[in-house]
Amino acid sequence: MFATAAHADGDPASDVLATQALFLPQDAGIPLAQRSQLAGLLEASASSGYPIRVAIIATKADLGSVTELWRQPQTYARFLGQELSLVYHGPLLVVMPGGYGFDKPDLPQAAGTSPLAGLRNPAGGAGLGAAALMAIERLATTAGHHVTVPPATNTKTPASGGADALPAIALLLGALVITAAWTVSLRARGPIDLTVGLHNEPRHLGNTERQLPSNPRRT
């Protein structure tokens, strides 16, 4: 569902949205948790009877050869709707820094952004993701389909800390194995008789002591 970095194309978003619900460049700066929320919300919206396609435009390069439409989300939404008209005829949302664009075949141009009136203008990075989530929820609700943004889940992958922990885990497991083997060995030997050493001491020392002559009598 996520697009790769924008490539040299007349309009990268139209290529992706022809078959997918979301155009989201990998370098848009949107966290993984928000990406998962977007995917979940779009799926829920489609299941409720309101399929919608969304283009998140993070940089001018994401527009391909139509960079003159940068920061003109409504104009770009109409342009993108025309590009997709042969394969898609449903609602289309554009989110880019500074505003939203919305296009639908049966929606008058003058009312193009009215369902999104009052929403805060999106900023870049995580702000774009949050804005897209709010806009999708608003559009679906306005159309009579109640959907809610799914809760964020921690999808962060461990960095070098996860790899650094492997040697410590291996050492701990090794120590546990050695301890277990030592315990089994002790149980196999049975209890240790601490008096064995005392019984086995040589007895000739005691005999020698008895053979020593007594002190001579003084005259």
pLDDT tops 80 at residue 3: no
Q: What order of strands is seen across the sheet that includes strand 92-96?
A: 22-23, 53-56, 92-96, 99-103
Domain spanning 12-142: CATH 3.40.630: no
Q: Which residues pair with 103 in a beta bridge?
A: 92
Contact of 129 with 94, CB cutoff 8 Å: no
Q: Is the pLDDT of residue 176 over 70?
A: no
> What confidence category does residue 4 fall into, taking pLDDT thresholds of 50, 70 and 90?
very low
Check residues 73 and 208 and name the one with the higher pLDDT: 73
Nearest to 80 by CA among 101, 61, 58, 110: 101
Give how far the C-alpha of residue 80 lies from the chain's centroid of Cα atoms, to the nearest Å. 30
Q: Residue 174 and residue 171: Cα distance in Å, rounded?
A: 5
- Say whether pLDDT at 120 is over 70: yes
pTM: 0.67
Please report, for the chain, the start and end positions of each structural domain, with discontinuous segments joined by +: 12-142, 162-209
Question: Mean pLDDT in the chain?
Answer: 79
